[in-house]
Amino acid sequence: MTPTRPFVHLLPWVALGSLMALAWVGWKLRQAWRSLRAAQRAAQLERELREFGDLMRDADRPETHAADLTRALAARATAPVAALLQPQPQAPDLVLGEPDANALAGLQLCAASGRALGPGTDHHAGEPDLYLPLRGREAAFGAVVLFGLGARALPGDLMAHAQALCDQMGLALQRQRVHDEARRASELAEVQTTRNAMLAAISHDYRTPLATIMGSASALQTQGERLSAAQRGELASRIVDETARLVRLTDNTLQLARLGAPGVALRSDWESAEEIVGAALRRVRRRPDGERVRSRIEPGLPLLWCDAALMSQLLDNLIDNALKYSPPAAPVELVVRRIGGDVVLAVRDRGPGIEPAWRERVFDAFQRGDLADFAQRPPGAGVGLAVCRAIAQAHHGRLTLRPRGHGGCSFQCWLPLREAPALPEAM
C-alpha cells in the first residue's frame, strides 16, 4: 500500500502559479523595456529638434541648411525626401532633390495651403507621398515631400517631430524675410535722407555761385561798354572762380554717388606719388592763395596702384578744405611718406581744428562741423571729405583725422602698398 504524500494534489497549482508569475514578470520586463525604448526615442527626437532649432536660430541664411532638414527627415522616415523653399517673395523657388512634375505641384499646393497632405493626414490621405509645409507664423514658406509611404502612415510622435522640424525651418525663413525687409526699408530711408540732403545742398550751395555768375555775366552784357577794363576783368574773374566752384561741387556730388554704388570699378594703374602731388600743386598754384601750399615728399617712394584721377580729386578736396578753414597767412602742408606697408598722403593746416564730437561726423556727407559763427562758415556743400573717405576706401585704404599739437588738423590718406611688377630687361 502506497503511503499518502501530503500536498501532492497542490503541485499542479503551484506550477501553474509559478508559470503565471514568470509570465507576469516577463510582461512587466517587456513593458519596462518598451518604456525605456520610448523614453530614449523621445529624448533623441527632442535633442535632434533642439539642435536643429539652434542651427536655425543662428543661421544668417536658413535656406543654406535645407539639406540638413532633408537628411534628418530621410533618416527618420526611411524614405527619399525632396523640398521646395520660398526664401524671398520675388526670388525663384529653391528646389532640393529630384521631384517630378506631380511632386512639384504637390509641394506648391502644400506650401500655398499651409497644411499637410497625404497618408496620416486629413487631406488627400490616399496619396502615396506625404507633404509637410514649412510653416511660419502666418504663412508657409515652402514644403517637403516624403516619397513612397503608400498606406503606411508615420507614427504619431514621428509625424509631430517631422512637422516640428519643418516649422523651425519655416519660422527661420520668416525671420529672414522680416530682417531683409527691415534692411531694405532702412536702406530706402537712408537713400531718401541722402537725396533730401543733396537736394537741400543743391538748392542752397549751388544757388549762390549761380547768382554770382548770372549777375556778373548780365553786367558784362548790358553795361560792358560803360565799364572800365579793370571792372570787366574783375567780373570775368568772378565768373571763372564761381564756375570752378560749381565744377568742384558737381564733381564731388557725382563722385560720391558713383563710389557709393555696388561693384564700382576703378581705373587703377601704377602711378608715381611725385607726379600726383606735382599735378595737384600746379592746379592749386592758379588760385590766389595757392602759394600757401607747401609740399614735402619722402625720396624713393614706390609706385602706387591707384586711380590717378580719383587721387587727384582727393588731394584737391583736402587742399581746398585746408585753405578755406585756415587763416589767410597760415601755411598748408602736403606731406607724402611711407609708414610700414602704407604710403600716407597728409594735408596739414593751422585752422581752428575740429571738436572731438565732430571728428568722425565730418566724414559724413553734408556735415560741415560745428562752427560757433555760422555766418563766417566757408561756402561748400559738405561732401568733399565724404568723397575723400569714399575714394580712400575704394582703394582699400582709409582716411583719418589727427589733431595737431599747436592747432589745426592733419587729414591722412593711408594707401596700402602693392608689389610692383618687375620691369622688362633691356634687350
Q: Is residue 3's pLDDT more than 60?
A: no
* pLDDT single digits (tens) 324-338: 888 888 899 999 999
Question: How many residues are there in the chain?
Answer: 427
Point out the least confidently predicted range of 126-140, 162-176, 215-229, 259-273.
Answer: 259-273
**What pLDDT sits at residue 203?**
63
Q: Which of 150-159, 197-206, 228-237, 405-414 has the lowest mean pLDDT?
A: 197-206
Stretch among 23-32, 142-151, 357-366 having the lowest mean pLDDT: 357-366
pLDDT of residue 135: 92
pLDDT-above-90 percentage for the chain: 25
Contacts of 168 (CB under 8 A, 6+ apart): 49, 52, 53, 56
Classify residue 398 by burial, with Cβ atoms within 10 Å: 0-12, 13-18, 19+. middle
Could you state, in order of their start, the residue ranges of all structural domains in the chain? 20-204, 206-259, 269-368+381-416
Cell 535645407 belongs to: 66
Task: Answer for the pair 97, 148: CB distance below 8 angstroms, yes or no.
Answer: no
Q: Which three cell numbers stand for residue 209?
A: 555761385
Please state, in angstroms and rounded to a whole number, the distance separating the CA atoms of residues 215 and 282: 30
pLDDT band at 371 (very low <50, low <70, confident <90, very high): very low
Lowest average pLDDT, out of 310-324, 367-381, 408-422, goes to: 367-381
User: Nearest-CA neighbor of 381 among 205, 197, 253?
Assistant: 205
What is the structure's pLDDT at 299?
A: 92
DSSP 123-152: SSTTSSSEEEEEE-SSSEEEEEEETT-TT-
pLDDT in tens, 343-366: 999 999 988 888 887 777 777 765
159-184 confidence digits (pLDDT tens): 888 999 999 999 999 999 999 889 88
Alpha carbon separation from 360 to 64, 139, 224, 356 (Å, rounded): 38, 44, 48, 8
pLDDT at residue 227 tops 80: yes
Cell of 350: 593751422
Residue 278, all three cell numbers: 606735382
CATH node for 20-204? 3.30.450.40
Residue 356 CB partners (closer than 8 Å, separation 6+): none
CATH class (in words) of the domain with range 269-368+381-416? alpha beta
Q: Which grid cell is 6? A: 501530503
The residues, ordered by sequence, that sit 6+ positions from 425 with a Cβ below 8 Å of its Cβ are none
- Cell numbers representing residue 67 in the block: 539639406
User: Residue 158: which residues within 8 A CB-CB, separation 6 or more?
Assistant: 45, 76, 77
Q: Which residues, at least 6 apart from 369, have a Cβ–Cβ distance to it below 8 Å?
A: 354, 355, 358, 362
Closest CA to 312 of 284, 342, 340: 284
Strands (DSSP E) along 35-150, which ranges? 81-85, 94-96, 130-135, 140-146
Query: Quick one: cell of 406?
Result: 599747436
At residue 81 the predicted structure's pLDDT band, cuts being 50, 70 and 90, is very high
Question: For residue range 274-300, what is the model confidence (pLDDT) as tens digits?
Answer: 999 998 898 888 877 888 999 999 999
Tell me what pLDDT residue 353 has: 83
pLDDT class for 243, splitting at 50, 70, 90?
A: confident
Highest mean pLDDT among 13-27, 190-204, 344-358, 373-387: 344-358
Mean pLDDT in residue range 4-17: 69
